[in-house]
Structure 1
């Protein structure tokens, strides 16, 4: 692939059996910006190897798994509870390939060749690439990382929980366990404080016992499941919730010959499950997997209903601190959701570019027609915007977590990420659905058929606005971040700093537009701060979208300026100005009278990553304006 002339998508037949890392120059740019030089030097070859694996074996397996989904066998032939989930062989292969390449481990324990772990943004980058092939499988991966983060923060002083942490972060598939997060209850939904699951201490067993029902349990048979429950005499609402780790297997029922424990017990690992099959009834924890949900998409992750019937559990951290602890996991889970959204957008865009470069109609490939060029340009700009915003939020999360590991603080990074993360999840999820829907349309009737991947990508994307909080819930969280963390202060500083960096004449008009909208955004924030709660909530979703647009525009302009300064490449300047024109600028007659030919004239640079000489961009930007 000659990067000097861009990517010729007509040389590919479809968006598989390719290297997703090598074709995604947007992700490459963001990681090069967000990593230190030595981190990127270490990671580049590994991300390329993972992109190759995902683009070939995992992508092929994902389609097979979608047709041969996990199946639940709740009872054995004698009618005893065994809670066995039967996976297709392709799923086991995908798991091994993914976990053994360090998708979770590398961000928690120093990988080979390094003295310290990679930032959490590395985990998110690998999730992004994985979601090119299977966003459903990315759910267990994300929750494994999330559970490891919680145990790292709140469980490292407990020897037993340390053993579970070690298994969650294992690079050896045989010793690995996966994580899960059981929050939702039928009567509560997003109202976590309405949870009714109870926890009682069983002195004779030496465990907490959970009783209750969880209604939407993804990765239902995970060994490292975190769940919230209320202990005796705990107050109502979220303040009374405690966090527990609930193993899939009875922690006293499954022996491990290689365990260092005196009693020989420990987590029931993926290796044991793959090798030994179902647990004996006496080895199951006291819970019942009632059924798997018949879902629209994300077929590769089994999601079901669980009844805790006195399930043995370990308390994580302090009693009645569960909701605060779960919030730490949610920060990572929401960014995982955003990374998955970006991965879906990237795959749909790739499939669309390839199809348009090969499909002939009326004597031309369809990527030669103005309307298709406009569509592909705007899809590419959407991909750039979503990825840039998401990995800036990921950089802040990584900065905060590294500071905590070092016993330091990063208050401004924390306050800003608390605002950016719910917005990242909300906005990119909707972008993924819209992009996947239009990608199906580009493929015509084939796109609607199960044999073509666009069908599955749309089905998988549709859950992303729901997982980890709906857009309404996330918008209310934005208000909380502004009120409790005073997140407007680091937001103002971050946008100002980026706009001050922009100096190229070709970016001047776009920067002026963003500056004006930034001023209006600050006015909106001040207005809502003085309004009653009802009006603030009424405006919360509009505010979240506004923050995304202004902050993303500032990020893209700043990165465009750096590309001009450091690489003498004006491509991102074109992307940035297109985003500003599309999302923030006032356009008379909806742009019809403007004479704008940007998608036709700049198609190769925006869609095919063709480099752009800096001196040529002023006229191109002026035409777009």
Structure 2
């Protein structure tokens, strides 16, 4: 017997995280289910390469730097002589990660590549792999995406006829920057809605916009190039309580123009040219300053610490009205549909990476089984059952998330041709928008709430190591993923806010019946008796109940609808690409939610034993060590 020391004795073998494009069975199934085979074959080399690159040491070093060198205000917002100076400083790691995302087209792909209605699916399959390695740079990218879509609508639809030539020039210039892949030219965007009066209740905004057309032709320098772009005829003043992406180049914000007109949407650049400013070297003529913005202070948050979030005071910020006065909520909803999808995909990305870490750890971690016997965690029946049950929930939410993305793609582009359709239910054209109206709030409220305890479960699966801040082994740092994941159920609308919004959509006096009809179409596409009966009961309750009476039950109602939709999609997946493991996953999910298995779905949680659980966690036919092949 030899005593252990700091360098001798048992030292745990380092887990190796595999490329999730191939290793994540749920990811593979979703890609195969939603994408036509020709498109999947076409994108595989590129997306697989991203899956490998995001696990590189270079990327993890950038993540560590972004977390360690967090954003700050130089001089706490003042220069050496006490003069106010809002200069935000972000770390090199943050900038490198953001540039990588630009170059990979995490936003641009949806605007410069055409896969028809599947373009959004391709975009978010890439984002899913990038989420856990991007150190929150996909947050400003989400708002960049939403702003690009909003400006695209105004530039290239019937609404474009309402633009003045100058306004068109300004919007087109911003759109070009938002959709660029060149890091020296790409813009991100803010989305300023939240004020002290209420997080999601934007009707109480205290930001005021006044039409004041002179002077508004001050040029705006961007990146390394100076562009003579008018700042806008509206002067905007107020206080914004949360502004993520404070280092962005532009913003979309809400403000009131008149007490009786409600809130309006505005576009504004973040910076403007001021030739009177003198640099610290004494040079003049090239000075820049924030566009009527003072960064009051940066927020100190539980998670997303690499992301600069601030309180902003606006005084005479120059901007452009988007759409009509008083129609700001309708305009901003275009952005919210997209940023909420990004938020859900981020939650799924954190969970997917956490499960990848837990799977890899289980392969190399030996544990005792009594009487001196030791086995890998990957062969421990209880541990495998735990990971298998988590995988069942993960796959169900992947189906719900990517079905919502599929609906988003159908709304933005034409319906697929019959020869290229996927195996999932494709709604008729008239039901696409009503279906998306419900799914846009429903998917985020359900997924972002449900992923938090599952990511924690992955942290627990590593024991004490999972609870550590593993910056020296960043690829294992689930504690960072857990902290960042927690915000998903809060920003872009809390769970209760979104559940209330879903109920409002279903009870809307003009469009509510269409939304119910869309859910009716989707759920009744399944022949499963219990699902149809459960939906019928919920539908009767929603149609006959008063909105104020149903409101206390909104979360339960919305979550139950989500579970029904997931079950429908699980049945579609199990039928489209059958296998013992996916049939068992489908049965387990439905049993857990109180739906009996029908139609040859397969056995549930009481059948199959260790080998089936291993197949659910690692995939059929995979090598899991010790000579075991599933």
TM-score range, shorter chain: 0.7 to 0.9
CA deviation string 1:279-306 (max 9, x = no partner): 9765321110111111111122111100
Distance 2:345 2:91 in 1: 26
Q: Where does 1:233-272 land on structure 2 (aligned, <5 Å)?
A: 233-235=258-260, 240-250=262-272, 252-253=273-274
Where in structure 2 are the equivalents of 1:227-238 lying within 5 Å? 227-231=253-257, 233-235=258-260
Shift of 1:375: 0.8
Would the aligned equivalents of 2:354 and 2:481 in 1 still touch at CA under 8 Å? yes
The aligned counterpart of 1:6 is: none
1:432 equivalent in alignment to 2:451: yes
Specify whether residues 243 and 15 from structure 1 end up closer, same or farther in structure 2 by C-alpha distance, changes over 3 A only.
Answer: farther
Task: Give unmatched runs, 5+ long, in structure 2.
Answer: 1-11, 161-167, 217-232, 277-284, 369-373, 417-427, 471-475, 598-603, 623-630
Is the 8 Å Cα contact of residues 180 and 220 (structure 1) preserved in structure 2?
yes
Residue in structure 1 matched with residue 300 of structure 2 by the alignment: 294
Corresponding residue of 2:73? 72
Counterpart in 2 of 1:468? 492
Unaligned runs of 5+ in 1: 1-10, 256-278, 501-510, 588-593, 613-625
Cross-structure match for 1:323: 329
From 381, 384, 393, the equivalent of 2:404 is 393
| Structure with higher helix content | 1
Residue equivalent to 1:34: 34
1:100-139 residue CA offsets vs partner (Å, 9 max, x unmatched): 11111110123xxx68796223332222111132462221
Deviations 1:389-446 (A, max 9, x none): 10001001100111499xxx93311111211221210111122211111112111222
> How much has 1:254 moved relative to structure 2?
8.8
- 1:277-292 correspondence to structure 2 within 5 Å: 282-292=288-298
1:481 to 505, 510, 516: 505
Instruction: Quote the Cα distance in structure 2 between the aligned partners of 1:115 and 1:344.
Output: 26
- Cα distance in structure 2, aligned partners of 1:139 and 1:404: 29
* 1: CA distance, partners of 2:212 / 2:48: 50
Separation (CA, whole Å) in 1 of partners of 2:533 and 2:155: 44
Q: Which shows bigger deviation, 92-101 or 603-612?
A: 603-612
Corresponding residue for 1:358?
364
1:135–1:532 CA distance, 2 compared to 1 (3 A): farther
Question: Pick from 450, 462, 465: which aligns with 2:469?
Answer: 450
Q: For residues 583-619 of structure 1, what are the alpha-carbon distances to aligned partners after superposition, in whole Å with 9 as ceiling and x for unaligned?
A: 22479xxxxxx9924452412220111159xxxxxxx
Query: Once the 2 structures are TM-superposed, how far is the Cα of residue 42 of structure 1 from its aligned partner?
Result: 2.9
The answer on whether the counterparts of 2:39 and 2:115 sit within 8 Å (CA) in structure 1 is: no
Kindly indicate whether residue 533 of structure 2 is the aligned counterpart of residue 519 of structure 1: yes
**What is the root-mean-square deviation of aligned Cα atoms in Å?**
2.7
In structure 2, distance between residues paired with 1:316 and 1:12:
57
Question: What is residue 276 of structure 1 aligned with on the other side?
Answer: none
Deviation per CA, 1:26-50, whole angstroms, max 9, x where unpaired? 2233233323444323322221121
- The equivalent residue for 1:123 is 123
Alignment equivalent of 2:238, drawn from 195, 209, 212: 212
TM-superposed CA distance for 1:573, in Å, is 1.5
Moved beyond 6 Å, runs of 4+: 115-118
Output the CA distance in 1 between the equivalents of 2:259 and 2:40.
47
Give the distance between the partners of 2:348 and 2:393, measured in 1 at CA.
9
Normalised to the residue count of structure 1, the TM-score between the two structures is 0.82
Q: 1:377 maps to what in 2?
A: 388
Q: Residues 127-176 of structure 1: CA distance to partner in whole angstroms, max 9, x if unpaired?
A: 21111324622211111111111111125542101100110000111111
Structure 1 residue 385, shift from structure 2 partner: 0.7
Structure 2 SS opposite 1:246: strand
Instruction: State which of 603, 606, 620 in structure 2 corresponds to 1:596.
Output: 606
What is residue 151 of structure 2 aligned with on the other side?
151
Report the Cα distance in structure 2 between the residues aligned to 1:383 and 1:280, rounded to whole angstroms: 52
* Structure-2 change in CA distance of 1:163 and 1:324 (3 Å): same
1:463 aligns to what SS in structure 2?
helix
**Alpha-carbon distance between aligned partners in 1 of 2:80 and 2:27, rounded to the nearest angstrom:** 50
For 1:55, what is the secondary structure of its paired residue? coil
Matched, 1:58 2:68: no
Residue of structure 2 equivalent to 1:261: none
Q: Match of 1:315, SS?
A: strand
* CA distance in 2 between partners of 1:43 and 1:142 (Å): 22
Aligned residues: 544
Name the CA distance, whole Å, in 1 between partners of 2:81 and 2:268: 26
- The partner residue of 2:616 within 606, 621, 624 is 606
- Write the distance in 1 (CA, Å) between the matches of 2:242 and 2:311: 6
Q: How does 1:103-114 map to 2 (within 5 A)?
A: 103-110=106-113
Deviations 1:77-109 (A, max 9, x none): 454444322122111111111111111111012
Change (3 A) 1:404 1:488: same
User: In the alignment, which residue of structure 1 is the partner of 2:350?
Assistant: 344
**Residue 241 of structure 2: SS of its match in structure 1?**
strand
Greater Cα offset, 173-182 or 72-81: 72-81
Contact 1:106-1:117 within 8 A present in 2 as well:
no
Q: Distance in 2 between matches of 1:280 and 1:516?
A: 69
Which residue of 566, 570, 577 corresponds with 1:556?
570
2:462 & 2:563 partners in 1: Cα distance? 29
CA distance in 1, matches of 2:568, 2:461: 31
Q: Could you say which residue in structure 1 is the equivalent of 2:224?
A: none
C-alpha spacing 1:550/1:177, structure 2 compared with 1 (3 Å): same
The structure-2 alpha-carbon separation of the partners of 1:12 and 1:168, relative to structure 1 and needing over 3 Å to count, comes to farther
Match of 1:88 among 83, 88, 91: 91
Structure 1 distance, partners of 2:340, 2:593, is 24
Corresponding position of 1:3:
none
| Shift in alpha-carbon separation, 1:348–1:254, aligned structure 2, 3 A | farther
Asked whether the equivalents of residues 223 and 246 of structure 1 are also in contact (C-alpha less than 8 Å), the reply is no
- Residue aligning to 1:142: 142
